[in-house]
Structure 1
Amino acid sequence: MVAHSELELLITVVAAADDERSAHAACGPLVERVGGRIVQSGDCSDEEPGCWSVTIARDCAGTGGHVAGLSRAVRNFLRELGPEYARHHVACEPPTAWTVVEHPELVTALVPGGERILVEAWSDGPLLTPARRAEPEPPAAAESAPVLGEHDESGRPHPRLRLRVEVRTDRPAGAEWPARALAARLSRTAELLSSRSAPPVVRVELDLGPAAGEPAEIAGSAAVVLGGEGWSTPELDERGAVVRWSARPVPAGGVSAVEIVAARSTVDAPAVAAGGSP
């Protein structure tokens, strides 16, 4: 982690909505209020029926990738929203700090139909931190963008991209959010497969859906997107292609290992344990 790095705020809203357009409309006033931009949205009705998640990004005036700087960025944002929001507890495990607002009256005051809001501060450091999102496409272009199906033109199933993230934390919730943040850089859809605690590590596995290309190419490209140094070269086995990354030295808290699997279309097995030597 660099000593001084820029911070970025991500505000993720989960709200009841009929479709993506209505979810964006519900979040419109909040986007204007915080001076941000919508960078991602997705249907999360598999977890909560009739719900959509919308992620808003906003640059942060603060700097610093240490605990105090990350936590301060989240607290300052909560104070902007009002004294009722500032009372929420802020957790921090570099490279991120976060809090969740779940009080119905506070959430709906910001977003009609809102159920909860996750506020994160991310350090734009060099390793496994969310890259700054590009400006979103105009609505018409985004809505017309093709969605990759389960099969290619010849009818052959696409490989599936899977992600396993190991986070050193004593709370499962403290692992799921960083894992989902990494998954969001690789796919618009992410299904939680499992979250298992093996103190002091929580292992989170996600299915990121189909991906086009050969397994080795898919896995290698995903590692490039996540960034950082120390990735293994793609290894082929009966499942597909696997790449791994492990933190050196192992941090006291935060992401300690990542594994990406581009599973062959004929295999539906979960990723193997992360943390292997690159």
Structure 2
Amino acid sequence: MDELELMITVVVAADDDRAARRACQSLLHRVGGRIVECGDCSDEEPGCWSVTISLPASSSGAGPAALSRAVRTFLRELGPEFPRHRVSCESPTAWSVVDDPELVEALVPGGERLLVEAWVGDAGAPVFADEDPDLLPPPEPEPGLADVDEHGRVRPRLGMVVDVVTQRHAAAEWPARAVASRVSRSVTLLGSAERPPMVRVEWDLGPAEGEPAEIVADAVARLGGVGWSRPRAGASVATARWSAAPTPPSGIAAIELTSTVPSMVDSGTPHWNTGSVS
């Protein structure tokens, strides 16, 4: 039987990283697990932070039914009002969004929304590095890394494009965001586009240290798995791509990582134009 992992993401109003983590302590004590990510999402909602908790699901299994059951079981454990929220499934993940500030506030002071995801590591998407002890991830990127280094050089930026097979545009962002969050603490949605039968979702993962080829190689190592293309690298850009073969009937079908050295616009600030989503 496949072991399932739960990823619990809370959107919480907080002043900073420390306050956001502190607000989630009561939920941690209640459900267990550990905080694996805390990110500033004020670009989407001013004054908001997202805190992600990882913990093993209380059930195991394979297929959409097992994934959905893991989410429903967790919702029931939170209280009688939580199971009424809809559970969606696009293999290899199932999820439910609790968009009820009063309900979430009872769990997390300042909490506004709750996302509950169930994942199985070997169901078509790459095996994530932190799920495989043989794949050691590179060090966490420095929080708040500046666009320009101490010598005044513009740091390369890392971008990710995720293709999700789904009939509903809205169903593509959550699984794509979960993949992007495995690579960077700084995840900004750039856009999405329907390319039937897929939805393409593009992310800016922020500045990174090193040369473009090194940055892409580190990101590939962090995601792990097999099926990655040989990296293509030039002086100012590097790219690697993963794709499922054959294309799954639903879920994540392809991932592209690109590291680019931005140009400098007249204002003297870095400018990165990906042009991938149209």
State the AA in 1 paired with 2:64.
Answer: V
> Is contact 1:39–1:133 with CA below 8 Å preserved after alignment?
no
1:153-201 deviation digits (Å, cap 9, x = unpaired): 3211111000000001122221111111111111101111001122221
Unpaired runs of 5+ residues, structure 2, are 133-139, 264-270
Match of 2:12 among 5, 11, 15: 15
1:156 aligns with 2:153: yes
SS of structure 2 residue aligned to 1:48: coil
Match of 1:46 among 40, 43, 48: 43
The farther-off stretch of 38-47 and 234-243 is 234-243
Aligned to 2:255: 258
1:180 aligns with 2:177: yes
Runs of 4+ with >6 A deviation: none
Aligned to 1:124: 121
Would the alpha carbon gap of residues 187 and 109 (structure 1) be closer, same or farther in structure 2, given more than 3 Å must change?
A: same
1:92 aligns with 2:89: yes
SS of structure 2 residue aligned to 1:71: helix
**Alignment partners' CA distance in 2, 1:234 and 1:20:** 34
State the AA in 2 paired with 1:269.
Answer: N
Number of aligned residue pairs: give it.
Answer: 261
SS of structure 2 residue aligned to 1:69: helix
> Is contact 2:164–2:200 with CA below 8 Å preserved after alignment?
yes
Identity %: 56
Aligned to 1:138: none
Match of 2:195 among 189, 193, 198: 198
> Is contact 2:34–2:55 with CA below 8 Å preserved after alignment?
yes
**Alignment partners' CA distance in 2, 1:271 and 1:59:** 38
Alpha-carbon offset, residue 7 of structure 1: 0.9
SS of structure 1 residue aligned to 2:24: helix
Aligned to 2:135: none
**Alignment partners' CA distance in 2, 1:6 and 1:231:** 24
> Is contact 1:219–1:242 with CA below 8 Å preserved after alignment?
yes
Q: Could you state the TM-score of these two structures normalised by the residue count of structure 2?
A: 0.87
Alpha-carbon offset, residue 129 of structure 1: 4.8
State the AA in 2 paired with 1:72.
Answer: R
> Is contact 2:239–2:259 with CA below 8 Å preserved after alignment?
yes
SS of structure 2 residue aligned to 1:178: helix
1:64 aligns with 2:61: yes
Aligned to 1:232: 229
**Alignment partners' CA distance in 2, 1:195 and 1:68:** 28
**Alignment partners' CA distance in 2, 1:249 and 1:116:** 35
Would the alpha carbon gap of residues 107 and 16 (structure 1) be closer, same or farther in structure 2, given more than 3 Å must change?
A: same
1:208-232 deviation digits (Å, cap 9, x = unpaired): 0111111112112211211121111
Unpaired runs of 5+ residues, structure 1, are 135-141, 274-278
Q: Could you state the TM-score of these two structures normalised by the residue count of structure 1?
A: 0.87
> Is contact 1:5–1:65 with CA below 8 Å preserved after alignment?
yes
